[in-house]
A and B are shown apart, each in its own frame.
Chain A
Amino acid sequence: MDSLHGIAHGLAIAAMPTHLLYTLVGVFTGTMISHLPGIGPSAGIALLIPATFGMDPSAALMMLAGIYYGCMYGGAVTAILLNTPGDAAAVMTVLDGYPMARKGRAGAALAIAAVSSFIAGTLGVSALAFVAVPLSELALKFGPAEYFTLILFALTTVSALTGESIAKGMMATCIGLAISTVGLDLQSGTARFTLGLSELQDRVNFLVVAVGMFALSEVSRMVEGTREGTMHAVRVQGRLWFTREEWRRAWPAILRGGSVGFFCGAAPGLGGTISAMLSYILEKKVSRRPHEFGHGAIEGVAAPEAATNADTCGAFVHLLALGIPGSGSTAVIMGAFIMYGIQPGPMLFQSQPDLVWGLIASMYVGNVLLLVLNLPLVGLFARILYVPPGVLLVLILGIAAAGIYSFDTQVFDLYLALAFGVAGYAFRKLDIPRGPLIFGVILGGLLEQSFRQAMTISSGSPLIFVGSPIAVFLLLCSVVSVGASLWAKRRPATKMLLTGG
């Protein structure tokens, strides 16, 4: 099925009443989650995966994807009204969004953020639909050695580009890979690293790791925010729309930001934060009024918002076409795919065309729903900000407990998630990125499987990993990503970009 037919077929599936309902639930929930400072899309998706148990996988994935891009869509609201990004990717929106709000232009900032997100999101989904098919066809030629080098490339890039220190990124990835080896070895049936605990024989569930590392550890950040009294929202005043002059300045920024965002999303490891930063820097460079940036320039809101939303579409490219996640959030979504018994990757377009095209088309529908929901209801959503953060953090702990227990109905998982929550807190305090750990947990099984299959084919010779042009190319890409990261981190400007400083 080519892309145009795929989109048409997918739209028919996404327009089914049940799927429409779950897409709506997803984008609505994502928007709400984005209004909870500290709780990002990864934590939100991980917390809500248990709510999809027993659902039709297509509807469940439409809902989870909706949470992801809904979160990105709404992340601007806390950035503009609270001076705190709702998720890390909205960090650049703070720079000009909050000054606009302080000047009484909160309505214009919120409206341009919503319109930018809609335009970039819609263009991004189109690009996703047209890029994913040829990429999946190429990936069908991959054998175990090529898959091993592909996963290695994804892990290397994520380790090298996330956070300030390559060593810490590598450390987090290796800890994730080590966690993935706990449990019964699938080929020999041998128990590995189970510490004699029968609960660990079935492997450590990624959901337990994700909820612990993202949601429970973020509670500690909320505690700090609550007790330091840093959460005070600016109230929305005036008309929720922008002027003609503001639109004239914003639309080129939306197109540039959207393009930057899609390409960053399609490169594993770069993620929404870097795409937002790159688009902001680009906009400031090309602007005739660079002095206004940081003081309420509307381009400074439009470009990063467009970039983060196009980035989510880019991140889906290799999740759907190659079975490799492009960001922490798509890693969690990939975990959900696996939980439903679906292996994302090149075969998905042939084996589950309804699911994959329905999911892609649901993003068009979701973007329209987000625009329709966000503009008139922005005031209503903003009210979530006025709910005491102390109440929200307590409710998150309550949701996490019910969600984790519901997965396997064993209290052991609750303790394990709490341990990962403590580890996540330590990671945050020690500046160790958490994204690579989740990548390691999710991809560890696949990496080991492809490694062992390749070595079996070659009768134990590691030369198989340099035996095909694709494998050599991917290994070279891994080396280049590490080299480029080392070079970039020596330069103060790019170092700041990569670390979010």
Chain B
Amino acid sequence: MKDRVLAAVVAVVAIAYLYSDWRIPRLELGDPLGPRAFPALVGIMLLISAVLLMLETRRGRQAPIATAERSGPSHVPVLAGILVWTIAYYAVFEAAGYIIATIVYLFGLLCVFHKGRHKSNALIAAGFTAAAYGVFSQLLNVQLPLGPLSF
């Protein structure tokens, strides 16, 4: 069932990809194929792979559930929480600056995955952030945003 849904989703994606390709303006400029030919081949192969998966599923050759990695239902809310927390971190990454945003982000995660050790969690979050900032900003000359700390 899982693989049939996957095949259907990939088929839809392949058709959307082929449609987008078809809308690309043809500019050949000495190139007999232009920018549309290669993506068209890729889209067709993607569509074929979806059909093949559907055929494999019908022949009962799909992965037995026992070999597929299963996520216990309790993990999904935790992973969703990490996802939302990470999006929030990226959203304030430039405004709050790397140092403030990363310390808060890491401390929040550590409170969940390294429970009950607030003092050491705070030290880990601050220490890691300072080290990462030092390496990237000072050694590698990468401009990490400082936010309100840019004085």
Residues of A within 8 A of B (CB): 50-51, 53-54, 164-168, 170-171, 174-175, 177-178, 181, 185, 187-190, 192-193, 219-221, 223-224, 226-228, 388-391, 393-395, 397-399, 401-402, 405-406, 409, 411, 414-415, 418, 422, 425, 428-432, 444, 447-448, 451-452, 455-456, 459-460, 489, 499, 501
B113 neighbours in A (Cβ, 8 Å): 223, 226, 388-391, 393-394
B118 neighbours in A (Cβ, 8 Å): none
Given known pairs A193-B20, A223-B75, the reply for A394 and B42 (CB within 8 Å) is no
Whether the pair B42, A174 counts as a contact (CB closer than 8 A) is: yes
Whether the pair A227, B78 counts as a contact (CB closer than 8 A) is: yes
Find the A residue at minimum CB distance from B62: A165
Using a CB-CB cutoff of 8 Å, which residues 24-49 of chain B contact chain A?
A: 24-25, 27-35, 37-39, 42-43, 45-46, 48-49
Find the A residue at minimum CB distance from B52: A167
Q: Give the 6 A-B CB pairs with smallest separation, nearest first.
A: A390-B113, A167-B52, A167-B53, A460-B32, A406-B142, A174-B46
Q: Would you give the 0/1 interface string for B49-86, flagging 1 where the beta carbon is closer than 8 Å to chain A?
A: 11011011000011100011111101100110011001
A224 neighbours in B (Cβ, 8 Å): 71-72, 75
Whether the pair A399, B132 counts as a contact (CB closer than 8 A) is: yes
How many whole Å from B99's CB to the nearest CB in chain A? Answer: 11
Whether the pair B34, A188 counts as a contact (CB closer than 8 A) is: yes
A459, B14: Cα distance in complex, Å: 29
A-B contact pairs, 9 of them (CB 8 A): A165-B3, A165-B61, A165-B63, A181-B42, A188-B27, A192-B24, A221-B69, A223-B75, A406-B140
Whether the pair B31, A219 counts as a contact (CB closer than 8 A) is: no
How many whole Å from B55's CB to the nearest CB in chain A? Answer: 8
Using a CB-CB cutoff of 8 Å, which residues 125-145 of chain B contact chain A?
A: 128-129, 132-133, 135-136, 140-144
Given known pairs A170-B49, A394-B109, the reply for A51 and B39 (CB within 8 Å) is no
Chain B residues within 8 Å of chain A by Cβ, number: 76
How many whole Å from B98's CB to the nearest CB in chain A? Answer: 7
Whether the pair B144, A406 counts as a contact (CB closer than 8 A) is: yes
Identify B38's interface contact among A223, A406, A415, A448, CB under 8 A.
Answer: A448
How many whole Å from A499's CB to the nearest CB in chain B? Answer: 7
Whether the pair A425, B79 counts as a contact (CB closer than 8 A) is: yes
A50, B143: Cα distance in complex, Å: 13
B49 neighbours in A (Cβ, 8 Å): 167-168, 170-171, 174
Identify A190's interface contact among B7, B35, B109, CB under 8 A.
Answer: B35
Q: Which of A167, A395, A401, A456 has the most CB of B within 10 A?
A: A167
Residues of B within 8 A of A (CB): 2-3, 6-7, 10, 14, 17, 20-21, 24-25, 27-35, 37-39, 42-43, 45-46, 48-50, 52-53, 55-56, 61-63, 67-72, 74-75, 78-79, 82-83, 86-87, 89-90, 93-94, 98, 102, 105-106, 109-110, 112-114, 124, 128-129, 132-133, 135-136, 140-144
A181-B39, A398-B129, A452-B37 are known; give 17 further A-B pairs, CB within 8 A.
Answer: A51-B135, A53-B140, A164-B67, A167-B53, A167-B55, A178-B42, A181-B42, A388-B114, A397-B106, A397-B109, A398-B132, A406-B144, A418-B83, A418-B87, A428-B69, A429-B68, A456-B33
Whether the pair A429, B71 counts as a contact (CB closer than 8 A) is: yes
Given known pairs A227-B74, A456-B32, the reply for A220 and B142 (CB within 8 Å) is no
Find the B residue at minimum CB distance from A425: B79
Whether the pair B52, A170 counts as a contact (CB closer than 8 A) is: yes
How many whole Å from A440's CB to the nearest CB in chain B? Answer: 9
Find the A residue at minimum CB distance from B50: A171
Find the A residue at minimum CB distance from B91: A411
Whether the pair A456, B31 counts as a contact (CB closer than 8 A) is: yes
Find the A residue at minimum CB distance from B92: A411
Whether the pair B46, A414 counts as a contact (CB closer than 8 A) is: no
Whether the pair A391, B86 counts as a contact (CB closer than 8 A) is: no
Find the A residue at minimum CB distance from B45: A174
Identify A401's interface contact among B2, B25, B79, B102, CB under 8 A.
Answer: B102
A164 neighbours in B (Cβ, 8 Å): 63, 67
Whether the pair A187, B124 counts as a contact (CB closer than 8 A) is: no
Q: Which of B55, B86, B87 has the most CB of A within 10 A?
A: B86
